[in-house]
Amino acid sequence: MKNYVITFPGQGSQSLGMMDKFKSLNIIKTTFEEASDVIGDDLWSMITLDNDKINQTINTQPIMLAAGFSTWRALKENGADDPSYLAGHSLGEFTALVVSGVISFEDALKIVRKRAELMQEAVPENTGAMAAILGLDDEAVIKICNDLDGENVIEAVNFNSPGQVVVAGNRYIIEMSLEKFKEAGAKRALILPVSVPSHCRLMKPASVEFLSYLGNFNFNSPKIPVIHNADVTSHTSGDNIKHALSMQLYNPVQWTRTIKYLSEKKMSVFVEGGPGRVLIGLNRRIATEANHYSLDGIEIMEKFLTEITT
């Protein structure tokens, strides 16, 4: 089997009916049933019937974990070998850790639910915001953020691909910054439909509580290396992994650097292990010579398995 990487999506990839193309596989619904038992709510009903609920961060986080992990289980049932590396975009990092054997699925569900609660509590509702800046290089975005940052927080927080950066902070300054980015040459600068300003320093108090909460769980050494968002490093110590997850809450997601690092490791195939096509779009712009797959249905999964083994 060729060297390949599985990357797991995070918040923003959820949608109503997002697992419909997999629903004939028993392992998909079984995984969602397991997750629902832990969370105490019917996650499968949410993703098939309730668009409002799936977009509430307290539900989105366990839903996306269940979606990514069930996709991995489906791959394994159909004969896939383990990938050479794993990575996940923000929340998706937890799916990667479950697949790697660092934490159990049940513990991960409890952890991401707590993470969602702490993130939501860290900033009063409607006072934080995030915005996507398209068509400016990283340095230009960082400079504008540095010029505006002060009592009101604005930071570059997701380096998603060349020419795509997300900023986060207080809603007032984020909304005011949009014209600044456009004046500097951004093709688009738009507010994202999220209520929590992730990965900026407004999340630092939440990160302290989160690290303390992680102390309740046993973290194993990974069976497959996981490249972490905050430092683009694969950690083997449970304590170091916990610190990386805590850092992730208030540090930027270094996705461009992550995919470049994996390309330098001679990874020739990148797989998006979950619903949607957000990561395949980003990864293609970074690892331009690699093959890319987004496993959002049985047919694509079968095609991937056929091609990866030949």
Same domain flag for 291 and 243: yes
Active site residue 199: yes
Judge whether residue 1 has pLDDT over 60.
no
In this prediction, residues 123-149 reach a mean pLDDT of 96
- The pLDDT-based confidence of 95 (bands split at 50, 70, 90) is very high
> Is 234 a residue of the active site?
no
On whether both 116 and 140 belong to a single domain, the answer is no
Query: Does position 42 have pLDDT exceeding 60, yes or no?
Result: yes
DSSP 3: -
Torsion, CA 36, CA 115, CA 120, CA 7, rounded to 10:
-80
Edge-first strand listing for the sheet containing 291-294: 226-227, 85-88, 4-8, 269-272, 291-294
Same domain for 75 and 168, yes or no, is no
Residue for token digits 């398995």?
305
Q: Which of 36, 70, 84, 90 is catalytic?
A: 90
The confidence band for 96, taking pLDDT boundaries of 50, 70 and 90, is very high
Of 142, 171, 195, the last residue of a domain is 195
pLDDT of residue 150: 94
Segment 118-129 mean pLDDT: 94
Give the model's confidence band at 125: pLDDT under 50 very low, under 70 low, under 90 confident, else very high: confident
102 and 161 share a domain?
A: no
CA distance 55 to 204: 23
Burial of 264 (0-12, 13-18, 19+ CB in 10 A): exposed
Q: How confident is the model at residue 297 (pLDDT cuts 50, 70, 90)?
A: confident
Among residues 199, 228, 243, 292, which one is catalytic?
199
pLDDT in tens, 65-74: 999 999 999 9
Q: Give the range among 37-41, 244-248, 274-278 with minimum mean pLDDT.
A: 274-278
The answer on 157 and 282 residing in a single domain is: no
Cα distances (angstroms) measured from residue 276 to each of 12, 128, 143, 195, 271: 9, 26, 32, 21, 12
Q: Which domain holds residue 141?
A: 128-195
- Name beta bridge partners: 190: 132
> Which two structure tokens, joined as six digits, stand for 178?
């949009």
Domain identity same for 166 and 44: no
Q: Are residues 66 and 145 in the same domain?
A: no
Which of the pair, 291 or 309, is modelled with greater confidence? Answer: 291
User: Tokens 């609660």 correspond to what residue?
Assistant: 117
In terms of domains, do 56 and 146 share one?
A: no
Location of structure tokens 């019917």: 42
Q: Please give the Cα distance from 310 to 293 (Å, whole number).
A: 16
152 and 186 in a common domain: yes
Check residue 23 and give its pLDDT. 84
Token pair of 182, please? 């456009």
| Residue 88 predicted with pLDDT over 80 | yes
Question: Angle, nearest 10°, between helix axes 204-214 and 238-248?
Answer: 150
Q: Domain of 184: which CATH number?
A: 3.30.70.250
- Those residues whose C-beta lies under 8 Å from the C-beta of residue 150, and which sit 6 or more positions away, are none
- Asked whether 282 and 243 are in contact (CB, 8 A), the reply is no
Q: With 70 as the cut, is the pLDDT of residue 55 above it?
A: yes
Residue that terminates a domain, selected from 175, 195, 215: 195
193 pLDDT band, cuts 50/70/90, is confident
Amino acid identity, position 255: W
With vertex at residue 35, the alpha carbon angle to CA 29 and CA 41, rounded to the nearest 5 degrees, is: 100
Which CATH number characterizes residue 273's domain?
A: 3.40.366.10
Number of H helices, E strands in the chain: 13, 9
Domain count across the chain: 2
What does the angle CA 218 – CA 157 – CA 220 come to, to the nearest 5 degrees? Answer: 15
For residues 136-152, average pLDDT: 97
Half-sphere exposure of 303 (CA within 13 A, CB side): 11
Asked if 149 and 214 sit in the same domain, the reply is: no
Among 195, 226, 251, residue at a domain's last position: 195
Same domain flag for 87 and 32? yes
Q: Are residues 170 and 298 in the same domain?
A: no
Is 2 a residue whose pLDDT tops 70? Answer: no
Positive or negative torsion for Cα 33, 22, 102, 256: negative
Residue 158 CA to residue 72 CA, distance in Å, equals: 25
